[in-house]
Structure 1
């Protein structure tokens, strides 16, 4: 649908507001500046200012506008066997228009919450765009959730409508949704998503979208406590993710692949707002998924220029680095610190630096090593444009006095929101350390970092040392009771398959040679697999004693 046609259609009850709006222009100007200064972080921090529109609908006023002028694909879904499903920006815009019109006809209204349980399939991106266009609040959820999790997320999320893969609908039998949409074939009692394809005409919004209206809800990963529902607005996510765009370093025409699964906030970073704001093509391994052994070949075959994966995935790719040599310009990692041996292996095999970044579900990207900046082992990087960070007795905090646009609206709990956002600082819950030239590193969650004999112990640092042993694939460090120290560091180690077995004594000696006695690991146990969240983070709470 063209911007010209939309300019001729004023929004009901408001002054005419074309989609190529002042908000679009401000957003484009900020994006262009960050792309122009992508290798000049000091200048980017100095010159960047958050756009602050009063009304903004990124799907209507950004995506649809660039779709009318962008000839390249928005999506390339690669199916098993190599079949590629290519969807242009213009086609995705039209499909989401039809879906938005159809959903509104079924009774989905502005401000109502829609839980989306879809895999890596075109319908996922259609649905995200359609919900944004409607002004409905989209709550993406991972497809592997259990029936109990489905009921919990539905009830605690205040969900009213469902969009679910047909094969997963049985998990929602116990919930009472107003509109139920099944994707992937007809299901009795559910509307068939395919019917939306037959809906004629362009979507016309019923009103302009206030930028402060809630647009997205994401549950946190729940590594140390029950997942919380985080709410983001039509400004805090699309505008806020300009910092994430700067971290990733994407440019128009890039071909980007992100391995994060739908249902986690990192998916909306790297598989939605960042590539489409950059006018890049998102390359996706379709719903059947992509194992680490297949990543090098896919990157090379599809001529991917940028890839993002969590540290655990990068570590699993290392044994397969020699199977293909992709021509990457950018490679990024986020979630937890990337082990130095993994970064070194990728650099040696592919000639690209894997850059670390850091953010939270509650924010957009906060810290990162940006394009063209040398990686400093052990350090995440510096604060990204638009964000001011401070350390308060070792606790990493966001300075709220400048009202950073990428900050969440709050949790789905007003009292908790007041406690967290009511002052001039947002406490991230992470313990961090500042280094030379403004570098920052995260030592662990408040709940993970502990005292041993009066000394602060960082699980992240000990885990990084353990991973330098060739027989260690991964490790997690947790505190255990100790008669003399109160608590002591205990390592749970996942051995590297195919390597000679290593003993606990050998690993203790390996760590002792590299850290001070006050923060040493005191005991080791082995496991076939560390417990992880669906997003790949180690669930240390499951290991604690």
Structure 2
């Protein structure tokens, strides 16, 4: 079992050359990109079982043994949890926030709450415990991660999931890790921008950026297209290895070019050889 940051480092190596005797492999801590799952499957013949939980809970959804695995999904609710996908008003929805039903159905694996200075508890009271994570639930009850509610953003009034775009970026052979955040734009309000960490030996060059842009053009609809790339030498992370998109959003908002995290930025308009959509011509 390893967090996606570790799995993404693993697939930079020739996994097939490592003689392992593993029966099961799991991902934990944040969503696992389908490209990572595919590469481990090809090398070891094992499917990484992705799952979902929070600091405030035990594992509450997962791809447990005995059921079909849908690559890219974090599975179905695990025993002991009644999960409801909720819209902004707390009503059931196909896409919305992961919520746990409380009251008589309160799960034993959920924290009692956060203790304040007065000794009182808060954060897990009322009818629902709201996780802050947005998912899509298919007809079979499988949950697919869309993003943190504060990570999902709008561009030209379209809803953008950073995780979806990051997964497409990771399909490029030179991309080791990526984080997508909104970058202010006078026309579209915001446009998707990717902070990209390259594989070892890859150059932070215009040729590399053009190759990535071409890859994105073949796999994303125009309204989802990443318009800017910033190729960096490191990405900000928490102590557990999760990418801190909030820190990158702040960089874009403040337009701070002197921060140590800044890299070399490339824009679509820097490459006239890229095909234009009808709205751009």
TM-score (norm 1): 0.42
Deviation of the 1:431 alpha carbon: 1.2
Which structure 2 residue ranges, 5 or more long, are not aligned? 88-95, 253-281
Per-residue Cα deviation, 1:512-540 (whole angstroms, up to 9, x for no partner)? 32222222211111011111111010011
8 A contact 1:325–1:349 mirrored in 2: no
| Separation of aligned partners in 1, 2:120 and 2:156 | 35
3-state SS, counterpart of residue 223 of structure 2: helix
Deviation of the 1:418 alpha carbon: 5.8
Correspondences of 1:70-469 after superposition (within 5 Å): 308-318=1-11, 319-393=13-87, 394-401=96-103, 402-413=105-116, 420-469=123-172
Q: Which moved more, 1:317-326 or 1:388-397?
A: 317-326
3-state SS, counterpart of residue 504 of structure 1: helix
Which structure 1 residue ranges, 5 or more long, are not aligned? 1-307
Query: When the two structures are aligned, how many residues end up with a matched partner?
Result: 238
| Residue 415 to residue 344, structure 1, CA distance change in 2 (3 Å) | farther
8 A contact 2:115–2:122 mirrored in 1: no
Deviation of the 1:452 alpha carbon: 1.4
8 A contact 1:479–1:490 mirrored in 2: yes
| Separation of aligned partners in 2, 1:386 and 1:415 | 31
8 A contact 1:452–1:488 mirrored in 2: yes
- The counterpart of 1:515, out of the listed 217, 220, 243, is 220
| Residue 331 to residue 444, structure 1, CA distance change in 2 (3 Å) | same
2:247 corresponds in structure 1 to: 542
RMSD, aligned CA: 2.0
| Residue 390 to residue 414, structure 1, CA distance change in 2 (3 Å) | farther
Per-residue Cα deviation, 1:410-463 (whole angstroms, up to 9, x for no partner)? 113279986532211011011111113101012111111111121111111100
| Residue 430 to residue 417, structure 1, CA distance change in 2 (3 Å) | farther
| Separation of aligned partners in 1, 2:69 and 2:219 | 21
3-state SS, counterpart of residue 227 of structure 2: strand
| Residue 421 to residue 527, structure 1, CA distance change in 2 (3 Å) | same
3-state SS, counterpart of residue 426 of structure 1: strand
| Separation of aligned partners in 2, 1:513 and 1:417 | 54
Higher strand share: 2
Higher helix share: 1
3-state SS, counterpart of residue 521 of structure 1: coil
| Separation of aligned partners in 2, 1:330 and 1:532 | 27
TM-score (norm 2): 0.79
2:90 corresponds in structure 1 to: none
3-state SS, counterpart of residue 167 of structure 2: helix
8 A contact 1:369–1:375 mirrored in 2: yes
8 A contact 2:62–2:78 mirrored in 1: yes
